[in-house]
Structure formats: C-alpha cells, structure tokens
Chain A
C-alpha cells in the first residue's frame, strides 16, 4: 500500500477515501435471514468481471468475418497458451450467470424484495437477466461453427415471426435479409459493446436504487435507536429485525466464497468436458471410425450449409423449441415469439400481485408461479432432451457431426486455414465429402456396406409403411480390392452384386448374363477353378487399381493369376496343365494378365481397372464401348449432373485416398 503521506496527498485532491467508505464501510442494514440474497448479486458482479476480462482477451485474437472467425477460434483453442482455458471460462461462466440470475430472482421473491418501495430494484434485476440471455445468444454464433450458425439461423427466423416488429428486428440483427459479412460484424458489435454497456448502465441504476433503499432503512433505524429523537417503530415493523453491519468484510467474504465455488464448478466442467465428446455417442460409428481421435476442442465443424447438422437450442431456450413441436402449426408463432413476452410480463407484474391478493397470498402466488414455471420449463426441456437422445438416428447423426468437427480441426492444424475460409477444409476433403456425394448420386441404386455412404438407410414407402429400400445395384464398399473381386467371382448373383439388378429395365440380361453363366460353369465344387485360382486372378485385377491398402503380390500368385486370365499354362486342381475354356481374356482386355493381348471387346476393359482415371471415366460414361457398351443400365453422370470437383472427391473417397495422420504411412 501507499505510504500514509501519499494517501493523504491523493485524498485531499480526490476524496477517494470517502468514496470507498461510502461503498464498502457504510453500515448497511441487513437481515440476518436474508444475507444470502446479496451473495448471489455480488457473485453475478464478479462473474460479469470474469466475462469482461476473458472477453477482452478473446478480442485480441478473434476476427469477426466468415472467412476467419472459425480459424481464429481454432487458433485460440489450439495455438494460444491457455487459450482453451480462457475461452472455456468465458463460455461456461456465461451459462453459470444464467443459473445465478435465476437463483437471485428467486431469493428476491421469497424475501419480498419487490415490495414497495423496491419495485424498480426488482425490475432492473429482471432486465439484467434479459441482457445476460441476450449476451449468450449473440455470443454463441461468433465462432461461426455449425452449432452457432444453425442456432442463429433459427433464432433470427423466430425473431422474424414476431408480430409487428418481426421483419425489421430480423434485418437489424442479420444486417440485411441474408447471412453474410454484415451478420458477424453486427453480432460482434452487439455482443462486445451494445449489450455490455446496457448491462453496466442497468447495474449502476440497480445499485444506486439499492443504496438509496439501504440508507433510508439505516436512517429510520438510527432514529428509532436514538433516545433524543421522538420516534418509535411499530412492533410488527420489519425494520425492527434489521441489524447494521458494514459491507466490508462481512459481505465481501461471503460473496467471494460463493463466487469461487461457482467458478470452481465452471473450471471442473471445463476439465471434465474439454472436448466435443458426447457421452451418448461413440465416434467409432459404422464407417465413421475416425482415423483420428475425437476433437480435443470445443468447436464444431466450420459453418457450411452443405454439411448436415441438427441444430439444437441452448438449454435455457430449449423449452420453446420443444413446445413448438407440441402445438399445432398455426400456434407456433404464439409459442416462439409471443410466449417469451408473456413470461416476461408475468414476472414483471409480480409487485402487483399483492395489490389484488393481499401481502401474504400475493407473495405465495409469486413463489408458486416462479417455482412452478421453472419446474414446468425444466420438465419440458428434460423430456425433449430425452426424446431426442432416444431417437433412432441421434447417435449416428451426432457421431458424424463430431467426426466432421474433429476432421476439420485436424485439417486446420495440419494445413492451416485457406484465405477463402474454413469451409474449404472439408469441401476439398474426400473423406468428408465422398459419403455425401455418394448418398446424393449413387445411393439411389448402390449401397456402401449396406447403407447410403453416410450410414443412413434409403427408405421407401411400402403398403403405407416406411421400410428400408431394396438396393438396385451392387454394394461398392471395397470396390476393386482383392476381397471384393473374389466375392464377386465366387457368386455374381449374390444380392451384394448383381442380385437386385433384375428389377431394373435391361437388368435381367446382366443378372443372368455371361458373367453369371461363367461362375455357374467354372466356380464352386463342380467347377475347375479352386479358391486360390479365383483369389489369384482377383489380386491380379486389383493390382490395376493399386489402392493404398493393396499388398504386393508374390511371383507365384501373379503367375497363377495370368494363367487363369489368359488360359495359358493353366493347371487344374490336381496340378496338371489343363485346357481352360473360361479364361477372362475372351471378353476382358488387360495387358497385365494377357501376354498375347488378344482379349477384350465384349466386356469392360480392365486396363487400369478401379484406378482414379478408370473410375472417373466409367462414372462419366458407363455405356462407352470399353465399359458396358450397349448392355449398360447405369445412368451416365455428365458434368451437368456431377461436377468435376465432386467426381474427383467421390473417386478418391471410394479408393480410400485422403490425407491421413503421419503414423499411418
């Protein structure tokens, strides 16, 4: 501390001692019973301070634009020392403040803190609560990740349905009619300047009113205790119970204890849930077993309307979201846009309950309304969360969202965010986009491990019931691998391959065509070919695709494969050289399996089979002479249907080629 002299020098010129005295040392009258009341208010002030400090820190890095918001938050989480801690503190303390304001208002009601002359004290605390909710709603979208983006879409949509002011309000907060550059700058301004300033003004007003009230009580008490003054309090006057005590250190200690407990809870929460881990979901769902651990940061994938995301509201507005589903369509606006106003009005009118019902019952009704309302709201929210978690596709959808988030985070750490924006990370990533493109274009006939590539099943209506649709073409997971080809050659008619093509026009010619006849004649217990023969020729063809999981072949396998493919030097089951009439080169061309290059023409060309170029050419024009020719039943996907960019991603994904962590190589 400053030496006595210096303190005096400053005090003579500023009067700061009086000021501090007025704030901290004044004998505030307090009710022994209601000391708890001030604690929550004080804790809210200290938490607001935490928000301001952490918020200012985040502002030093955060960049409010669509191209850089996500990248800057990712940078805070992964590159800045203790960035995850600062951001976590900012995020969770905001939620803790909402809890605290709910408790604070409850305590005000049970101690009748809204009674004359304290109505304005009560009203300002309600308004401060509203501003805190406004701050969380405007803060959420700032990272511009999937969660924030979709929530904000819905919230601004709701704002737009409000009677009278709706569309004006929406264009004000969105900065026009569409989301764009102005949306984030607006949000940012509201979040860091407008609302904090309003909150501070309200708080100042609130505290001034409280001070005024306390001083009035203190004066009355002084007069009643002073024998010189002819003034007596009535026996039943509540001021009788008051005792006077300075704020410092009695209240400050209690307030700090509570604040630290609340911040402690926040820190524990941050450490227990550091990441996008969702307890109800394992990321290793179906094909989504991430080839990387779940994201260690609390940030969803970058905002992108082309990547599926199920928007879920924040816990404190969840009940509105649930109620929308419970009421008929025409009442939806009432629930989302009018109900919050009604709730606010009910709370605002609390001081007037006593006018109608008398003091005792007025307070009882206020408590019943408040607690009952909270219970109903919590009940609806809890029920909603429970229903959602038990929905059939919840685990799958959520695990994909987590996988996308983890993938984007990993790509950003590896490659940096391109200047165009973070959505380019996933849009150019075969692992992320491949399944979506497959589901959109191929999943209508083909399957991928039995689903549409994204883990969902294509549904169709049968006899008025939704059932899993029957695929119309082969399952393409593992296409052009040795195993896939072996399975195909063993049984082309199986449902995994040609089994369902008969349902399509011209498909019967394939189902019961040359390939199936070939398998009938040469494969199986009666046939001349052994399993080893089939595997060898399959491996030989798979070598053309040269997928990343392809293992080099031994000399012997290659030789055997060539003998089956070309029929030259073919050995039967007993190991003798035999005449083999079912050799592949009769219909298929493939230089590597056919030294005499005689074959081909009647069936798809196997040169480069399954390679990127072969697959891309095939998808573009399956009816080309070198593929299925006039037997073809697959639609061609020209540039107008499937862009070059998408085709490239699809082909790479089918072949399992995408950027992977180093240790895999």
Chain B
C-alpha cells in the first residue's frame, strides 16, 4: 500500500505541474488582452473663437487616428464635443457622451438645455443635471485659447470617461 500512496502523491504533484503549464500562460494571455491602451489627453484644434455664436452651443467632431489591437486606422471621427461661448467670451466644452449609458447628447435650442434621446436625461447649459436617470452632470473638458497666425483658436483636450457612475473617472 505504501507504493500506492507514493504513486498518489506523484500523480497529484505531476498533475499540478501539468495544470500550471496551462494555467499560468492562460491567465497572462487573458488578462493582457483586457488591458486597454492608456488614453493620452491630446488637445484638438476645433474652431475659431470669433466663429462661435455666444449662447448657442455647437457640436464639433473630433478627428484622429485610432489603433484597435493590431489595426491602425487612418484619421476618422472618434467622438464629438459641444462648445459654447458665454456672452463674456469664456468657452466651455462638454463631451457629447451622455454620462448615463454613453448615448450622444443633443442640444434643444428652444428649451435651452441638453437632452439625451436614449433615456430622456436633461442637462442645463452649464452641464448640471435637470432630470433623468444620469448619475452626474455632463463631463466638462479642458479648453485653452491658442493664437495661431493672428487667429484665436479654441483647443479642447478630449478624453472619455466611465459612464453610469457618479464620479468622473477617465477610461484607461
């Protein structure tokens, strides 16, 4: 019987070794494909300051190259932002992605508020919540004014945030 016991131990040890050879690479493999490339905030030149009409938000598309795993796509739309200029010339930018579940938010000119058509989330022009299922207000993006060849341009640092939670957490 001692031999039998010894063989049982052998089987367990060798079996664990076999399982390890499979399990370690498997975990490494699976978890590394879950990692997303870290987003770097990048300023995008969107519009001339003078072209923005005070009090009327306008939507601008962000155009950039996109890398998806092994494929690198040429420049194309990767998202959009709402730009609005107040009467005193200060510019604010909001990501057009609804913080509820990620639909694209529209602007309703008559009501002077942002409205997401998916679940009726409504926001004020300063991005604060009015009504609806959204956990936070609209995500504001950093803006800077840069003078290029005498023209003042609005630059926006575009990034994406996690949806469905109350905190504003960048994805990545």
Contact = CB atoms under 8 A, between A and B. Distances in A.
Is the A/B pair a real complex? yes
A253 B7 contact: yes
Given A253-B7, A253-B11, A419 B73 contact: yes
Contacts of B4: 249-250
A74 B18 contact: no
Contacts of B21: 50, 89, 263, 267
24 contacts: A53-B26, A54-B25, A61-B33, A61-B69, A79-B70, A82-B24, A82-B25, A86-B26, A86-B29, A248-B11, A249-B4, A249-B7, A250-B4, A250-B7, A253-B14, A256-B11, A256-B14, A256-B18, A257-B14, A259-B18, A260-B17, A260-B18, A415-B72, A416-B72
7 nearest A-B pairs in the assembled complex, by CB-CB distance: A416-B72, A71-B70, A81-B32, A256-B14, A82-B28, A75-B70, A249-B7
B18 A46 contact: yes
Contacts of A75: 69-70
A68 B70 contact: yes
A57 interface: yes
A147 to B, nearest CB: 19
Interface string B70-99: 111110000000000000000000000000
A517 to B, nearest CB: 55
A418 interface: yes
Contacts of B7: 249-250, 253
Given A75-B69, A249-B8, A57 B15 contact: no
B118 interface: no
A439 interface: no
Contacts of A257: 10, 14
A248 B32 CA distance: 37
B15 A412 contact: no
Contacts of B17: 260
Nearest to A248: B11
A10 B76 CA distance: 57
B67 A82 contact: no
B26 A74 contact: no
A74 B25 CA distance: 17
A256 B29 contact: no
B148 interface: no
Interface residues of A, number: 38
A81 B29 contact: yes
Interface in A26-76: 46, 49-50, 53-54, 57, 60-61, 68, 71-72, 74-75
A257 B25 CA distance: 21
Given A54-B25, A81-B29, A256-B14, 16 more contacts: A50-B21, A60-B33, A61-B33, A61-B69, A72-B69, A72-B70, A81-B32, A82-B28, A82-B32, A83-B29, A86-B25, A253-B10, A256-B10, A260-B17, A412-B70, A417-B72
Contacts of B14: 253, 256-257, 260
A526 B10 CA distance: 91
B22 interface: yes
Contacts of B70: 68, 71-72, 74-75, 79, 412, 416-417
Interface of B: 4, 7-8, 10-11, 14-15, 17-18, 21-22, 24-26, 28-33, 67, 69-74
A195 B11 CA distance: 30
Contacts of A120: none
Interface string A77-111: 00111110110010000000000000000000000
Given A85-B25, A249-B11, A416-B72, A80 B67 contact: no
A49 B18 CA distance: 11
B18 to A, nearest CB: 6
Contacts of A86: 25-26, 29
A298 to B, nearest CB: 16
Nearest to A73: B70
A80 B11 contact: no
Contacts, number: 95
Given A248-B11, A253-B7, A263-B21, A416 B67 contact: yes
A263 B15 CA distance: 13
Contacts of B72: 415-419
Could you say which of B8, B24, B25, B28 has the most chain A C-beta atoms within 10 Å of its C-beta? B25
A60 B26 CA distance: 11
Contacts of B10: 249, 253, 256-257
Nearest to B3: A250
Contacts of B67: 416
A654 to B, nearest CB: 28
A252 interface: yes
Nearest to A78: B70
Could you say which of B10, B15, B21 has the most chain A C-beta atoms within 10 Å of its C-beta? B21
A416 B33 contact: no
Contacts of B74: 418-419
A53 B14 CA distance: 18
B11 A252 contact: yes
A28 to B, nearest CB: 15
Contacts of A263: 18, 21
A262 to B, nearest CB: 11
Could you say which of A60, A89, A249, A419 has the most chain B C-beta atoms within 10 Å of its C-beta? A249
Contacts of B33: 60-61, 80
B94 to A, nearest CB: 31
B25 to A, nearest CB: 4
B25 A417 contact: no
A248 B9 CA distance: 11
Interface in A251-283: 252-253, 256-257, 259-260, 263, 267
Nearest to B21: A263
Given A256-B18, A257-B14, A57 B30 contact: yes
Nearest to B22: A53
Given A61-B33, A253-B11, A256-B15, A419 B71 contact: yes
